[in-house]
């Protein structure tokens, strides 16, 4: 095992010393054969030791953790193809290399699994637009897609759209005054609990610093790295009070998967259109989807973003007796392509 570990270390050091295209990051579409071989030799050596020392892993927890990490990495490596990237990143230390297998698109793998079953049924309230979801889920062209009519009455939920505020990153500082005024007005006029969703913690904090919360409202703010107990704190607060203004992250733990029936939640405000943050990973996805499907921006940014918006809207109306309102804030809602991605069952007041 010691020889195998030294070989792995040497293979990683060689990768770290290579002349990368970028200073701290390199993305490749081929696996390093030497590293693969060393990892296989290591798992084989561990297997031989376990045959004679069954309690080895219990006595060496760090070895056990590394062993299972290697096994998982090798399992993923078996799936490696053009829809994967091998990503190398390094810091300033001599042994700071991180080797990651990034699956850009799981469609091929899902197709392989679905070919082994007689039938597959896929259902959710946010499987839209259908062509996008069908592609990502690996469903064939002849898959039956059906949109079920909403069980709710359109009059249960009144959605207002404000297109006067530009929430794009470069315009946030200039439009902050108008945004705080609009949120203050909404909270003052609305009755009951409200969740205000923001696309990032920084944007939310900047808004809160200039916001004058109407008298009598109980402020609750989501912060990064909150414990599970804090999540329960908000849910309890919404269940016992009717004067809560909760500021949360769009697409986070409070943006989907929580059930707030009755008057636990009266309204939501969604700031922005939910587009994911532009970073290296997201840009790799955009390039892949553009090359593969000719719809890079739509697949990587637009559709996932508007899905978050739809999930946030879905927190308000949960039963046939519920009544509620919502406010969508962004200049891009004036574009028909964005509005076409909103839930069809509600009526929208555009201003």
CATH number at residue 317: 3.40.50.300
For 203, what's the count of Cα atoms within 13 Å in the CB-facing half-sphere?
A: 24
pLDDT at position 92? 80
Shared domain for 142 and 158, answered yes or no, is no
Q: Which one of 103, 118, 139 terminates a domain? A: 103
Does 23 lie in the same domain as 10? yes
**What is the model's pLDDT at position 95?**
85
Identify the pLDDT of residue 46: 96
Cα(210)–Cα(237) distance, integer angstroms: 24
28 and 119 part of one domain: no
* Domain shared by 244 and 303, yes or no: yes
Question: Is the domain of 222 the same as that of 139?
Answer: no
If asked whether residues 191 and 333 sit together in one domain, one would say: yes
Say if residue 74 is in the same domain as residue 126.
Answer: no
Tens-level pLDDT at each residue, the chain (351 residues): 999 999 999 999 999 999 887 878 999 999 999 999 999 999 999 999 999 999 999 999 999 999 999 999 999 999 999 999 999 998 888 888 999 999 999 999 999 999 899 999 999 888 889 999 999 999 988 899 998 889 999 999 999 999 999 999 999 999 999 999 999 999 999 999 999 999 999 999 999 999 999 999 999 999 988 877 778 899 999 999 999 999 999 999 999 889 999 999 999 999 999 999 999 999 999 999 999 999 999 999 999 999 999 999 999 999 999 999 999 999 999 999 999 999 999 999 998
Q: CA triplet 182, 212, 256: central angle to 5 degrees?
A: 60
Residues 304, 286, single domain; the answer is yes
Looking at the fold, whether 196 and 286 belong to one and the same domain comes out as yes
Domain extent for 9: 2-103
337 and 270 within one domain: yes
Q: What is the reported pLDDT for 156? A: 96
Q: Which of 152, 148, 158 is nearest to 347 (CA)?
A: 158
Say if CB 25 and CB 87 are below 8 A apart. yes
* Same structural domain, 114 and 209: no
pLDDT tens digits along 17-43: 998 878 789 999 999 999 999 999 999
What pLDDT score was predicted for residue 94? 80
Q: How many domains does the chain have?
A: 3
56 and 178 fall within a common domain = no
Contact between 42 and 70 under an 8 Å Cβ cutoff? The reply is: yes
Choose the final residue of a domain: 148, 180, 204.
148
Q: Which of 203, 145, 161 is nearest to 338 (CA)?
A: 161
Residue ending a domain, among 148, 177, 201, is 148
């Amino acid at each position: 095992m010691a020889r195998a570990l030294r070989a792995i270390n040497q293979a990683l050091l060689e990768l770290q010393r290579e002349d990368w295209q970028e200073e701290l990051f390199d993305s490749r579409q081929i696996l390093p054969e030497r590293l693969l071989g060393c990892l296989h030799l290591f798992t084989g050596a561990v297997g031989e030791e376990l045959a004679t020392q069954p309690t080895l892993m219990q006595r060496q927890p760090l070895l056990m953790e590394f062993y299972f990490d290697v096994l998982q990495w090798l399992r993923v490596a078996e799936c490696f193809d053009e829809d994967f990237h091998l990503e190398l990143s390094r810091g300033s230390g001599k042994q700071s290399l991180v080797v990651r297998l990034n699956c850009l698109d799981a469609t091929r793998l899902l197709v392989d699994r679905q070919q082994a079953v007689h039938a597959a049924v896929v259902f959710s309230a946010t499987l839209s637009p259908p062509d996008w979801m069908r592609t990502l889920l690996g469903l064939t062209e002849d898959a039956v897609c059906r949109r079920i009519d909403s069980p709710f009455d359109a009059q249960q939920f009144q959605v207002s759209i404000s297109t006067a505020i530009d929430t794009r990153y470069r315009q946030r500082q200039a439009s902050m005054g108008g945004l705080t005024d609009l949120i203050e007005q909404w909270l003052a006029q609305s009755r009951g609990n409200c969740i205000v969703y923001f696309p990032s913690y920084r944007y939310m904090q900047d808004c809160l610093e200039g916001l004058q919360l109407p008298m009598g409202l109980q402020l609750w703010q989501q912060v990064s790295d909150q414990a599970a107990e804090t999540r329960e704190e908000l849910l309890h607060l919404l269940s016992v009070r009717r004067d809560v203004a909760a500021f949360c992250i769009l697409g986070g733990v409070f943006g989907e998967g929580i059930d707030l029936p009755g008057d636990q939640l009266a309204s939501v405000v969604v700031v922005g259109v939910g587009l994911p943050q532009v970073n290296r990973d997201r840009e790799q996805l955009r390039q892949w989807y553009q090359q593969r499907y000719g719809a890079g921006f739509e697949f990587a940014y637009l559709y996932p973003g508007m899905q978050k918006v739809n999930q946030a809207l879905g927190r308000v109306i949960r039963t046939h007796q519920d009544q509620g309102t919502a406010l969508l804030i962004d200049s891009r809602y004036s574009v028909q392509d964005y509005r076409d991605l909103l839930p069809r069952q509600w009526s929208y007041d555009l201003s």
